[in-house]
Structure 1
């Protein structure tokens, strides 16, 4: 499943067509957001130290670096690159929280679904719609629900997949480097807590 989550933790775009073994970048390329990025993503720009920076979606390391999708640095990192990743990952925390709460509220997503695989897509979509509904209506969420989900995740871990197969856009690389330099010059350098 590929999903775009807004800053309030609501699902805005969902792609549910592929089994979990398909590489995330392949799912992205098959999504409506990839095919229609110029029409879907607001064409908003901000001047950051003399460079025009487009509105971008924050992605995880599995996705390619694109003009409209930014991700962190990988490999051996400089202090500035590590700090950039820490700041970027703090923005991604909204996505992690949304997925955690989605699975915590609708536990059917945490286990094998006893239904035809074609119907599973409808179940996942329905859970995402219900997630947005309860989010919009400020329904209570109980932290102990997350603990139960974490226990399930430990029992059924996902397979490890090589997540760095895609080439990055040169223009997007320049934007990311510019933002890295801006953060390093204007904010304290941060270190990752886990290495």
Structure 2
């Protein structure tokens, strides 16, 4: 599990669970979850009369929290679908960061020939090196992404399922307010992929 900033750099990484562990279980074991009040800035932005705290954007596998927002699921209204499209556009930096990480450090695309207990150190080293080269704006070739996209088909990752945890009421209220604000202030957007 990783938190990625808007520059595509890894800000928080959890590498102590095998891939078969549910994302929500890994999340609840993370330092981010345990120390959110000290890690996440405790400031807010007033949006249309409501103070909205700084939040992390998560995928459907995570629970909604006062500081973690995720999209709507199930049968969606036009406003909910549009909200999800806008929210997912914020998650693009995460997908891009993981793509660039795997493209630069090919060891992550294959079985590692080392003791499984050493794998977390290799992954953390790759994330650290990724941040270093990204911050120094080292050249990146898009061809690398094409080369590693085939490895995803050889070793597919588990599909995240929606968290069964109850969503917190303050998080739901913030998401609903942002949905209404986006619907009133910006054009409704539709998902291109069905």
- Answer whether contact 1:23 1:163 (CA < 8 A) is retained: no
TM-superposed CA distance for 1:57, in Å, is 0.5
- Answer whether contact 2:24 2:163 (CA < 8 A) is retained: no
Tell me which residue corresponds to 1:11. Answer: 10
Distance between the aligned counterparts of 1:177 and 1:186, measured in 2?
Answer: 14
Moved over 4 A (4+): none
Distance between the aligned counterparts of 2:116 and 2:162, measured in 1?
Answer: 25
Gaps of 5+ in 2: none
Tell me which residue corresponds to 1:81. Answer: 80
Shift in CA distance, 181/161, structure 1 to aligned 2, threshold 3 Å = closer
- Answer whether contact 2:60 2:160 (CA < 8 A) is retained: no
Q: Do structure 1's residue 153 and structure 2's residue 149 form an aligned pair?
A: no
TM-superposed CA distance for 1:148, in Å, is 1.2
Deviations 1:65-120 (A, max 9, x none): 11000010011110000000000000000010000000000011111111111100
Distance between the aligned counterparts of 1:120 and 1:40, measured in 2?
Answer: 26
Tell me which residue corresponds to 1:34. Answer: 33
Give 3-state SS (helix, strand or coil) of 1:193's partner.
coil
Tell me which residue corresponds to 2:123. Answer: 124
Shift in CA distance, 23/142, structure 1 to aligned 2, threshold 3 Å = same
- Answer whether contact 2:23 2:160 (CA < 8 A) is retained: no
Distance between the aligned counterparts of 1:163 and 1:51, measured in 2?
Answer: 28
Tell me which residue corresponds to 1:47. Answer: 46
- Answer whether contact 1:25 1:62 (CA < 8 A) is retained: yes
Deviations 1:17-42 (A, max 9, x none): 10000000000000000000000000
- Answer whether contact 1:9 1:95 (CA < 8 A) is retained: yes
TM-superposed CA distance for 1:161, in Å, is 4.9
Q: How many residues align?
A: 194
Shift in CA distance, 160/57, structure 1 to aligned 2, threshold 3 Å = closer
Deviations 1:133-185 (A, max 9, x none): 00011101000100111111012222345333221111100000000000000
- Answer whether contact 1:57 1:69 (CA < 8 A) is retained: yes
Distance between the aligned counterparts of 2:160 and 2:45, measured in 1?
Answer: 35
Give 3-state SS (helix, strand or coil) of 2:162's partner.
coil
Distance between the aligned counterparts of 2:58 and 2:23, measured in 1?
Answer: 11
